[in-house]
Amino acid sequence: MPGLDEDDARRRFAAARVARLATVSADGQPHLVPVVFAVAGDTLLMAVDQKPKRHRDLKRLRNIDDNPAVSLLVDRYDDDWSALWWVRADGTATVTEDEDVLARARAALGERYPQHRADPPEGPAFTVGVTRWTGWSAI
């Protein structure tokens, strides 16, 4: 089964609409949540938006503060298994309230998601410097 080269992995990742963000708490507990994102080269941009949440003290942000090593996964499932693929982006995440970074994330997310154009994320922003793109495709 063929692996994907870095350029193909990045291209497929950038075209995906949602990813799963994996973080790990200080005590080693994994945490997985769906996120929307934008890709700028080897940097992933995200921001906390206004969707209803139980609170603003999000576990993913606390985990990144404790352990900035993260993975994000996108994939394509199909009942025709010859069409399957997945891509993982591993890297180091940073959470910031910096207005320049938040503005960059808002602009990039707004280009991808009409919801973010109409109601830009309030933040904080978080970025992932991708250090490794890996993937697999059935064909």
**Residue 60: φ, ψ to 5°:** -60, -40
pLDDT at site 123: 87
* Confidence (pTM): 0.92
pLDDT digits (tens, 9 = 90+) for 49-95: 876 555 567 999 999 999 999 999 999 999 999 999 999 999 999 99
Count Cα neighbours of 46 within 13 Å in the Cβ-side half-sphere: 24
Q: What is the overall mean pLDDT for the chain?
A: 93
The CA-based angle 124-112-20, given to 5 degrees, is 65
Instruction: Give the CATH superfamily of 6-137.
Output: Electron Transport, Fmn-binding Protein; Chain A (2.30.110.10)
pLDDT at site 57: 76
> Could you tell me if 102 and 124 are in contact, meaning their C-beta atoms sit under 8 angstroms apart?
yes
Q: Which residues pair with 46 in a beta bridge?
A: 126
